Amino acid sequence: MNIKEITHGNNHYEMELQHGNLHVFANSDVFQTFESRVYEMADNNLRIPRNVHMSYTPDAHVGVGTCIGTTAVWSMKDGFVSPSIVGVDIGCGMRVHTTSLHKRDIQDKEVRRALIKAIEKYVPTNERTNTHYADIDIMYVVQNGLKGLPERYVPHEQWLTHVEESTFKFEHQYLDKLPAKIRKYAHGQLGTLGGGNHFIEIQYLEIEEGQKDLAAKWGLFDGQIVVMIHSGSRAWGAMLGQEYTKVFRGAMQSWGVENPDRNLIYAPIASNEGQTYLNLMYSALNFAVSNRHMIAFGVREAFKEVFGANLEMPVLYDLMHNYALKEFHRNQPMLVHRKGATRALPPSHFLNTAVYKETGHPALIPGSMGTSSYIMIGREEGIKNFYSICHGAGRARSRRATKELVTVDQFEQSLKVGTDDEILVNHRSLQSILDECPQAYKDVDQIIDSVVGASLADVVAKCKPMAAIKGV
């Protein structure tokens, strides 16, 4: 492929591809690792008419139809929506809860083992285990999000306000278009973790120099124990994505629309297919934010069991990194797709949720198992990328390649097994989760350096892992 590279400086490259321009935000070391396939995928994406903006964050890597790490924008007036540029795990995202505990309070391995055991008691991590919350009406949740949960599962009003959205509004009649099997499979999954790269991690904070004041406003302090949760919409979003992949593909065939990658599907926002998908996608976002909420509720119960009934766990923030959302940019409504990309709004931006209007909201960026995660804050300059930053470290190699190239001994070294600082996990055999080892991912510190160097966001705190709970 013939590619012309324009260097804007400050970790910002612009690639002139055959069908449009792609912005890439990465430092020089990360930029050199991008393979030709990621540019081929971008060029296929840019065949979709009237694209306003397309970019890769430094964690970008090959996905199905579209790279993970993509931000793609179209006008609501005459643009397109693409399930491929949303991803199958609709609404997948991050959530962080704070505590009054300090690192020294859980330094003892036996305390951490007790926490892991208690969390597994309250949060199902086995795919075959159903939810502990069968009394919750799933249909009411997908219609109303957090406001569809019974009051007994909302410990504090703050659990409803420190989120990107408590309810994603849509036309409920579109739910009639869903196959009944989606309801069946999703019914037992609210408050369950799921597998793959989803996790619950117990971490302690290292506040960045120069960010003490902002951290204090957010209730953060050095050595503080926090809990980071990564999960999504489970079967509701996955099966919806699979269903509408077939619907969109059939529609494209009937319209005579072709693309070199048959896994890349799209339709006009104004079309029947586009409107149906957007409305149903919002139902999956409601499931996703409610799922993370209920996982957090279970984690809170576990912490209370270990540390006493008076312990509380306020929400720092909950946000997504797989979705398409109507946002106002350049004085007009745009549909911003983020597939493996995180919104990071600066202070005083009008899109900030009310509680973070003044400071800007925390942007939650997970690392890989055994490495640091990050809490960041968006910068004004982020407007050049529609306020999108990375969503994590990003995979450096496939699950299969990881199992072939990385040994369990190397994984153990990453987790400091046998030392006082060992990162405890809930799996007896590391072999079973070898494909999630740090060696499977890019260097998260290089990813964060890329984002900071591009003036998209700044680091507020590092989150250092002490224990991890993975699904099986």
pLDDT digits (tens, 9 = 90+) for 44-102: 999 999 999 999 999 999 999 999 999 999 999 999 999 999 998 999 999 999 999 99
Task: Give the pLDDT confidence of 324-336 residue by residue, as tens digits.
Answer: 999 999 999 999 9
Q: Do the beta carbons of residue 390 and residue 398 sit within 8 Å?
A: no
Tell me what pLDDT residue 179 has: 84
Does residue 412 have a pLDDT over 90?
Answer: no
Report the alpha-carbon distance of residue 286 to residue 232 in Å, rounded. Answer: 10
Tell me what pLDDT residue 1 has: 78
Does residue 129 have a pLDDT over 80?
Answer: no
DSSP 3-state assignment of 98? Answer: strand
Residue list for the binding site for GMP: 197-201, 321-322, 366-369, 373, 391-394, 470
Does residue 248 have a pLDDT over 90?
Answer: yes
- Where does the pLDDT of residue 337 fall: very low under 50, low under 70, confident under 90, or very high at 90 and above? very high
Tell me what pLDDT residue 307 has: 97
Mean pLDDT over residues 340-362, rounded? 97
Strands in 232-344 per DSSP E? 267-268, 315-320, 322-329, 332-339, 341-343
Residue whose C-alpha is closest to residue 196's, from 127, 110, 106, 121: 127
Tell me what pLDDT residue 51 has: 98
Mean pLDDT over residues 425-431, rounded? 81
Strands in 236-321 per DSSP E? 267-268, 315-320
Residue 53's DSSP bridge partners are 73
Residue list for the binding site: 89, 197-201, 230, 321-322, 366-369, 373, 391-394, 470
Report the alpha-carbon distance of residue 339 to residue 12 in Å, rounded. Answer: 19
Tell me what pLDDT residue 446 has: 96
Tell me what pLDDT residue 429 has: 75
Residue whose C-alpha is closest to residue 173's, from 286, 26, 275, 251: 275
Mean pLDDT over residues 213-233, rounded? 97
- Where does the pLDDT of residue 394 fall: very low under 50, low under 70, confident under 90, or very high at 90 and above? confident
What percent of the chain lies above the pLDDT cut of 70? 100
Question: Checking DSSP bridges between strand 20-25 and strand 341-343, what pairing results, if any?
Answer: unpaired
Tell me what pLDDT residue 131 has: 83
Q: Which residues are catalytic?
A: 391
Residue 32 has, within 13 A of its CA and on its CB side, a CA count of 3
Residue whose C-alpha is closest to residue 54's, from 325, 336, 263, 259: 336
- Where does the pLDDT of residue 187 fall: very low under 50, low under 70, confident under 90, or very high at 90 and above? confident
Tell me what pLDDT residue 314 has: 98
Residue whose C-alpha is closest to residue 10's, from 382, 387, 445, 443: 382
The number of residues in the chain equals 472
Tell me what pLDDT residue 417 has: 86
Report the alpha-carbon distance of residue 232 to residue 237 in Å, rounded. Answer: 8
Tell me what pLDDT residue 186 has: 85
Does residue 405 have a pLDDT over 90?
Answer: no
CB atoms within 10 A of CB 40: 17
Task: Give the pLDDT confidence of 272-283 residue by residue, as tens digits.
Answer: 999 999 999 999
Tell me what pLDDT residue 409 has: 85
Return left, alpha or beta for 387; rule: phi > 0 is left, psi -120 to 50 is alpha, else beta: left
Mean pLDDT over residues 391-403, rounded? 84
Q: Do the beta carbons of residue 290 and residue 166 sit within 8 Å?
A: no
Residue 220's alpha-carbon distances to 92, 207, 290, 462, in angstroms, are 25, 8, 24, 11
Exposure letters 94-118 (e unless 16+ CB within 10 A, then b): bbbbbbebebeebeeeeebebbbeb
CB atoms within 10 A of CB 141: 26
Question: Checking DSSP bridges between strand 12-17 and strand 4-9, what pairing results, if any?
Answer: antiparallel
Tell me what pLDDT residue 202 has: 98
Tell me what pLDDT residue 180 has: 85
Q: Which of 185-199, 251-265, 342-356 has the lowest mean pLDDT?
A: 185-199
Mean pLDDT of the chain: 94
Tell me what pLDDT residue 418 has: 85
318's tokens: 């909950």
CB atoms within 10 A of CB 136: 18
For 128, phi then psi, to 5°, come to -90, 0
Please state whether the predicted TM-score (pTM) of the whole model is above 0.85.
yes
What percent of the chain lies above the pLDDT cut of 90? 82
> Which residues lie below 8 Å from residue 136, measured CB to CB, with a gap of 6+?
149, 150, 153, 190, 294
DSSP 3-state assignment of 306? Answer: helix
- Give the chain's domains with CATH numbers: 4-396+441-470 (3.90.1860.10)
Report the alpha-carbon distance of residue 170 to residue 142 in Å, rounded. Answer: 10
Tell me what pLDDT residue 251 has: 97
Tell me what pLDDT residue 221 has: 98
Residue 441's DSSP bridge partners are 395
Residue whose C-alpha is closest to residue 163's, from 344, 352, 303: 352
